[in-house]
Amino acid sequence: MSTKKSGTAELPRIEESLLSRIIVAPVLFVSFIFSLFLIDRKTYGGIFGQHADKDGYYHSHQRKLAKREMDDAFMMRNKVIAVMAVSSAVGLAVLGWGVLKAYYFMMAS
């Protein structure tokens, strides 16, 4: 009796780098969640905003709506990552300026 294996070949495991696990993965995850939040908020406002007749569409087409929201969130993710990078740079600059001012204030005293 011969046993057949499934048609898929087992791929070798690729080890992720420390940089990828510590920085890249959380940034991608947070950007996707934030993008999904923005898309969901826009969709929710459009569905439940002023038109009550769209309520039936939401309940009868949830799978299509969720798929479209996820696609939109993946498309928006690059913009969200750019905004996160710019806001992080501005935040670090403000923090550095504040630390420098505090240092100069402490040295002047």
The pLDDT tens digits of the residues spanning 87-107 come to: 999 999 999 999 999 999 999
| C-alpha span between 108 and 14 (Å, rounded) | 55
Q: How far apart are the first and last CA of the chain?
A: 89
**Between 58 and 37, where is the model more confident?**
37
pTM, two decimals, is: 0.62
CA–CA gap between residue 104 and residue 102 (Å, rounded): 5
Contact (CB, 8 A) for 38 and 27: no
Residue 39 has pLDDT above 70, yes or no: yes
DSSP annotation of 61: -
φ, ψ of residue 11 to 5 degrees: the values are -85, 145
Predicted confidence (pLDDT) per residue in 22-34, tens digit: 888 899 999 999 9
- Which has the higher per-residue pLDDT, 67 or 53? 67
